[in-house]
Structure 1
Amino acid sequence: MLTTAPDTLEADFQHFYGLNPDLIWTGDLTPTYTAALAANLPRQAMIWRKLDPRLEWDDQTYLLANIADSLNFLAWTKTKEASRKGARWRGQLPRPGIIRREAAGSEVMAMDDDQLTAYLNAPRTTIREA
């Protein structure tokens, strides 16, 4: 957490615990105490969004999106388009961290610039046919 987003962690410490963020760097907080505080931050803390984009929404927002998707699907089933053979509903609200669904059903995850650069620069192995 400290290497990924130290400023966000400091803001969360101040917001949720009322601690002066400078205590992390001056050594007034022991590393184990700091780690315990960081690991037990609530789900509303900003640090979780930095670590995983799928955590940008809280449980209530996911629940509301699921309700909206269900209602939209029910409304779609009453249309002429839905009665066609092979029709597929594609009206799901986009979720954070998921860019799109592939035709095969797999999900493509969002990447920040550093992750994308590391992925593109990673060595590739090829499978050679015998």
Structure 2
Amino acid sequence: MLLDGDLRLLAYNTAIKHNITIGMVYQSLYQLRVSGCPWQDADIVEALGCLGDYGLHNLSAVERIARISEVYPYSRVKGLLHRSYESLGINERDENGELIAQKLLWKENFYNRNERGEGHAP
């Protein structure tokens, strides 16, 4: 686990080296943390940078990481995140042909859950 200063430095260095901004890193990392992504913060930041190099930012990158992290640890897919779900062995559709939605908890829903007593807002 990274300390706050180490994570800030990693986010800054990632933004400098890759096609992504620090704001994108923080917002995406927050979204994935709230949604329960099992990957470590450093792995998520690195993955965001790599996806940024392939033109995947913000929601596209968050959805991709959320989907892949449901199936694989980061060490298994490092460097392969930009490939199709099919090539990674991940089904995009269920048995009825419907797209499988990522398990993301949006900030608005997070606060609504808190109001109903189902969670805690940051």
Normalised by the length of structure 2, the TM-score is: 0.28
More helix by share: 2
By percentage of residues, which structure has more strand? 1
Ranked by relative contact order (alpha carbons within 8 Å, sequence separation 6 or more), the top structure is 2
Query: Which of 1 and 2 has greater Rg?
Result: 1
